[in-house]
């Protein structure tokens, strides 16, 4: 198959894994070893007793590659379940970012005004800087960061995407 | 279940015994001394001392392939583990169940660059099906039972258990958990019946069907091979096999078209190219099988049965994918076929066979006989004729001799053909033969070798001699890395860069130096006598069979070409490989 001609899709994939040493390395190693893309990746323990973690991966590839990625993930021994939130219906996707902006005068006021419009919160401030906390879709965060470029953007930390499917059922039912 | 306090090393041995392990291939070292001490104090598990850890893994593979049981290797930390990596990767690529125990420095030293420390779980993560670092003696029993479960269930593969030395020394509790039910790894063995019904329907409607079987059928146990044979009998459809799948269908069954792929037969590859329905059972559309992907069997509907969902639609998009164990799915497929009283389209099938017979008439494996020089194909034909009644286990190294062995040695049963297919590991054959000989002490085991490959693990002659393993190494000695030279002929203007081995050893003297026997054949009329003599000697034998130096292996689908663009002999070798083909391995 010549993949060059085929369309590239972005998918958000949820993986429930045993919370054990090396499990993240297995997942990341799978992606790097087989040449798959990781656009973003988040991981944290989610079970009451910390026995399982949820990994949320945003990846992109042809239809065949996306299918392969899911099959390869399912094959990993500590993986309980793999869900494709892009394919399996509506999902809520959120990312959190901390954005440091430094400036005085009009630029400083403008950054605050835009932050308000984006519903970003100020979580740290000095007389010449702010750290904004912003939650939302990745596109919204990117848009905000773009606007801050001209207003004294210093640095950015982003969590990567977390996501859940809408509706009453979860991945493991 | 009983539970008692034991040292970690004793737990390891007890668990291996409970798991039915009767032999371990290994090499001692500082970080596994406690386990070796525990091994020393018992009699149920035999230890085979190899001469290099790579060989321990290949021997475990040979044992596993020839028995269907998992092979076990035991190596020390650091270099012991890194030497094992090739064997682990080999087992991963060919889906061979192997459990490898590696020693590790004590837990408090991990990460400190201690003597003979290596990040074994880090290094082996991509070349194992799964691996463990055991951090508590109480976990040992559970982890070992789980390791065997994972190595043998689903698509088989290698599992590493890394054992820090302090864990081996500390005392802990062992409980035999009995049957493992893994919390996340539960492979699907039964195929979806609705899909199987659809497959039966597609097969019944086929005009130009072919069955393409692979190593998955061997891995699914002898019953799967019997079921495949039944399906072939029921339908009368032609069947071809990958390198890994040889023996599932008897080589001389009239329905068998021979191996397919790069060095497959003319009839098998043409039938694959022209078929209208393809049933792939336990094979993975490997690049050596498919040739150029966009020209692979362009007009066919494809059905793919595989235990590993990730094998389906990986290289070739199929019309119907069925996840399941080959034996289970074939059994259900046959049931459906019978229940629905399906009949093949006799008229169409007759036309199809007529076409196949025309391809067969090309006699693609023919070669120019010679009465002065031993042709490699002739040597293998004689080897087959003179040894087949003993139903030997045949291993190979990697290269031309391997392909000729696949073409000329007729396998009639599964588990008798041990070859490194996926990874293509030179040096595989001798240790694999040792593993098979351990499992089958009274059977004939032959490593068909090349003079270059054999030198990669020649030290294992010493292992064979020590353990009284009468393995036979049959070297087709052409003084070249023949397959490298063949590709240089095809793509590099016959500029033989480093593919000629000057200063080869005297293999007869070498065999004797190890304490084995050495024989030599230099003329065609000597071949039979040498083979007979080889079989009569009850110790390891090396046969130096000096064959035609420049013979190439045909047929061949050159790199980047399609199935119907085969080279049938040297007369077809005019054109250089395409630029795109040169970039392919």
Q: What is the pLDDT of residue B577?
A: 74
Contact of A154 with A102, CB cutoff 8 Å: yes
Q: What is the pLDDT of residue A2?
A: 47
DSSP string, A108-120: HHHHHHHHHHHT-
What is the distance in angstroms between the Cα of A160 and the nearest Cα belonging to chain B?
25
What is the distance in angstroms between the Cα of A44 and the nearest Cα belonging to chain B?
18
Q: Sort out which chain A residues have CB atoms less than 8 A from B184's CB and list them.
A: 17-18, 77-80
Residue A24 lies in a domain: yes
Element (H, E) at B415: none
What is the distance in angstroms between the Cα of A71 and the nearest Cα belonging to chain B?
5
The CATH number of whichever domain residue A101 belongs to comes to: 3.30.70.1150
What is the distance in angstroms between the Cα of A78 and the nearest Cα belonging to chain B?
6
The CA distance from B333 to B198, in Å, is 10
Can the peptide bond before residue B528 be classed as cis, meaning omega within 30 degrees of 0? no
Residue A127 lies in a domain: yes
Q: What is the pLDDT of residues B535-560, one digit of tens each?
A: 999 999 999 999 999 999 999 999 88
Contact of A41 with A56, CB cutoff 8 Å: yes
Nearest to B555 by CA among B564, B545, B546: B564
Q: State whether A23 and A76 are in the same domain.
A: yes
- Which distant-in-sequence residues (6+ apart) come within 8 Å of B53 by Cβ? B27, B73, B75, B79, B80, B81, B83, B84, B87
Minimum-distance CB partner of B309 among A22, A33, A74:
A74
Catalytic residue among B4, B41, B42, B115: B115
The CA distance from A37 to A31, in Å, is 7
Q: State whether A70 and A21 are in the same domain.
A: yes
Q: What is the pLDDT of residue B582?
A: 80
Q: How confident is the model at residue B420 (pLDDT cuts 50, 70, 90)?
A: very high
User: Model ipTM?
Assistant: 0.92
Q: What is the pLDDT of residues B222-255, one digit of tens each?
A: 999 999 999 999 999 999 999 999 999 999 999 9
Q: State whether A39 and A105 are in the same domain.
A: no
Are the Cβ atoms of A64 and B308 closer than 8 angstroms?
no
Are the Cβ atoms of B310 and A78 closer than 8 angstroms?
no
Alpha helices in B236-325 (DSSP H): 266-274, 287-290
Contact of A113 with A139, CB cutoff 8 Å: no
Q: What is the pLDDT of residues B496-506, one digit of tens each?
A: 999 999 999 99
Residue A54 lies in a domain: yes
Q: What is the pLDDT of residue B3?
A: 61
Residue A172 has pLDDT above 80, yes or no: no
* Location of structure tokens 């850890």: B53
DSSP string, B42-68: -SSSEEEE-SSHHHHHHHHHHHHHHHS
Are the Cβ atoms of A29 and B126 closer than 8 angstroms?
yes
Q: State whether A57 and A73 are in the same domain.
A: yes
Minimum-distance CB partner of B150 among A1, A68, A77:
A77
Query: Which residues form the domain of A49?
Result: 9-84
On the CB side of B258, how many CA atoms lie within 13 Å of its CA?
26
Q: Does B121 touch chain A (CB under 8 A)?
A: yes
Q: How confident is the model at residue A120 (pLDDT cuts 50, 70, 90)?
A: very high
Q: Does A72 touch chain B (CB under 8 A)?
A: yes
Name the β-bridge partners of B323: B306
Of A19, A49, A84, at which residue does a domain stop?
A84
Chain B residues 383-412 within an 8 A CB cutoff of chain A: none
Nearest to B75 by CA among B27, B16, B11: B27
Name the β-bridge partners of B221: none
User: Nearest residue of A to residue B149 by CA position?
Assistant: A77
Are the Cβ atoms of A21 and B133 closer than 8 angstroms?
yes
Q: What does pTM read for this prediction?
A: 0.96
Catalytic residue among B17, B116, B188, B459: B116
Q: What is the pLDDT of residues B446-478, one digit of tens each?
A: 999 999 999 999 999 999 999 999 999 999 999
The CATH number of whichever domain residue A51 belongs to comes to: 3.30.70.260
Q: State whether A74 and A111 are in the same domain.
A: no
Q: State whether A155 and A103 are in the same domain.
A: yes
Structure tokens at B471: 């393995």
Pairs of residues, one from chain A and one from chain B, whose beta carbons lie less than 8 Å apart:
47
The CA distance from A96 to B281, in Å, is 47
Catalytic residue among B6, B202, B456, B483: B483
Catalytic residue among B14, B69, B129, B165: B165
Of A84, A102, A132, at which residue does a domain stop?
A84
Higher pLDDT pick, B125 / A49: B125
Minimum-distance CB partner of B184 among A26, A67, A79:
A79
DSSP B295: G
Residue B203 has phi, psi (to 5 degrees) of -65, -40
Residue A173 lies in a domain: no
Span A104-120, average pLDDT: 96
Q: What is the pLDDT of residue A48?
A: 82
3-state SS, residue B500? strand
Chain A residues 113-172 within an 8 A CB cutoff of chain B: none
Q: Sort out which chain A residues have CB atoms less than 8 A from B316's CB and list them.
A: 1
Q: State whether A79 and A104 are in the same domain.
A: no
Of A22, A52, A84, at which residue does a domain stop?
A84
Span A66-92, average pLDDT: 95
Q: How confident is the model at residue A3 (pLDDT cuts 50, 70, 90)?
A: very low
Q: What is the pLDDT of residue A173?
A: 56
Q: State whether A21 and A73 are in the same domain.
A: yes
Question: For a pLDDT cut of 70, what percent of chain B falls above it?
Answer: 99
Is B512 known to be catalytic?
no
Span A122-148, average pLDDT: 97
Q: State whether A27 and A72 are in the same domain.
A: yes
Structural domain total, chain A: 2
Residue B1 has pLDDT above 80, yes or no: no
Residue A84 has phi, psi (to 5 degrees) of -105, 100
């Amino acid at each position: 198959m010549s993949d060059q001609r085929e369309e590239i899709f972005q998918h958000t994939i949820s993986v429930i894994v045993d919370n054990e040493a090396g499990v993240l390395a297995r997942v990341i190693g799978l992606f790097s070893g087989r040449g798959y893309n990781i656009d973003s990746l988040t991981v944290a323990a989610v079970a009451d007793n910390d026995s399982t973690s949820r990994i949320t991966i945003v990846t992109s590839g042809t239809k065949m590659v996306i299918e392969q990625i899911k099959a390869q993930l399912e094959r990993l021994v500590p993986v309980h379940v793999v869900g494709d939130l892009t394919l399996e219906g509506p999902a809520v996707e959120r990312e959190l970012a901390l954005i440091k902006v430094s400036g005085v005068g009009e630029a400083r006021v403008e950054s605050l005004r835009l932050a308000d419009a984006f519903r970003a919160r100020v979580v740290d401030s000095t007389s010449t800087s702010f750290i904004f906390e912003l939650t939302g879709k990745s596109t919204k965060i990117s848009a905000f960061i773009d606007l801050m470029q001209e207003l004294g953007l210093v640095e950015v930390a982003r969590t990567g995407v977390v996501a859940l499917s809408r509706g009453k059922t979860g991945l493991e039912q | 279940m009983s539970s008692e306090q034991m040292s970690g090393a004793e737990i390891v041995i007890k668990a291996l015994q409970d798991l039915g392990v009767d032999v371990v291939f290994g090499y001692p070292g500082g970080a596994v001394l406690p386990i070796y001490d525990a091994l020393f104090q018992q009699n149920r598990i035999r230890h085979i001392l190899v001469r290099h850890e790579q060989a321990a893994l290949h021997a475990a593979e040979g044992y596993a392939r020839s028995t269907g049981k998992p092979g076990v290797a035991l190596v020390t930390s650091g270099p012991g583990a890194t030497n094992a990596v090739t064997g682990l990767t080999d087992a991963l690529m060919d889906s061979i169940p192997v459990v490898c125990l590696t020693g590790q420095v004590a837990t408090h030293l991990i990460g400190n660059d201690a003597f003979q420390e290596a990040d074994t779980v880090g290094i082996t993560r991509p070349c194992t099906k799964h691996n463990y670092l055991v951090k508590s003696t109480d976990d040992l029993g559970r982890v070992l039972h789980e390791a065997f479960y994972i190595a043998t269930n689903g698509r088989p593969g290698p599992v590493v258990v890394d054992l820090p030395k302090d864990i081996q020394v500390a005392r802990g509790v062992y409980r035999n958990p009995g049957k493992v039910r893994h919390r996340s790894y539960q492979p699907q063995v039964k195929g979806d019946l609705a899909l199987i019904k659809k497959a039966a329907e597609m097969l019944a409607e086929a005009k130009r069907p072919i069955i393409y079987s692979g190593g998955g059928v061997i891995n699914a146990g002898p019953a799967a091979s019997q079921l495949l044979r039944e399906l072939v009998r029921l339908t009368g459809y032609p069947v071809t096999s990958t390198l890994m799948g040889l023996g599932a269908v008897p080589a001389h069954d009239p329905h068998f078209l021979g191996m397919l792929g790069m060095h497959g037969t003319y009839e098998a590859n043409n039938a694959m190219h022209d078929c209208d329905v393809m049933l792939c059972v336990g094979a993975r559309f490997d690049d050596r099988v498919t040739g150029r992907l966009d020209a692979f069997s362009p007009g066919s509907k494809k059905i793919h049965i595989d235990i590993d969902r990730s094998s389906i639609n990986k290289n070739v998009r199929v019309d119907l994918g069925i996840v399941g164990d080959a034996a289970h799915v074939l059994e259900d497929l046959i049931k459906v076929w019978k229940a629905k009283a399906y009949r093949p389209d006799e008229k169409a099938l007759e036309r199809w066979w007529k076409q196949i017979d025309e391809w067969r008439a090309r006699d693609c494996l023919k070669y120019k006989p010679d009465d002065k020089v031993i042709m490699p194909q002739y040597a293998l034909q004689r080897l087959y004729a003179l040894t087949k009644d003993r139903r030997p286990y045949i291993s190979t190294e990697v290269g031309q001799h391997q392909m000729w062995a696949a073409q000329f040695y007729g396998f009639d049963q599964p588990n008798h053909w041990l070859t490194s297919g996926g990874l293509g590991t030179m040096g595989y054959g001798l240790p694999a033969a040792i593993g098979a000989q351990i499992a089958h002490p009274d059977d004939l085991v032959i490593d068909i070798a090349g003079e270059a490959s054999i030198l990669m693990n020649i030290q294992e002659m010493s292992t064979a001699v020590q353990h009284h393993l009468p393995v036979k190494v049959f070297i087709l000695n052409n003084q070249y890395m023949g397959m490298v030279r063949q590709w240089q002929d095809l793509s590099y203007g016959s500029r033989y860069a480093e593919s000629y081995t000057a200063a080869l050893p005297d293999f007869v003297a070498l065999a004797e130096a190890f304490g084995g026997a050495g024989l030599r054949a230099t003329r065609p009329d000597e071949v039979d006598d040498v083979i007979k003599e080889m079989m009569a000697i009850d110790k390891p034998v090396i046969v130096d069979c000096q064959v035609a130096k420049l013979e190439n292996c045909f047929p061949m689908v050159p790199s980047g070409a399609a199935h119907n663009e085969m080279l049938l002999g040297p007369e077809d070798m005019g054109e250089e490989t395409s630029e795109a083909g040169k970039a392919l391995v």
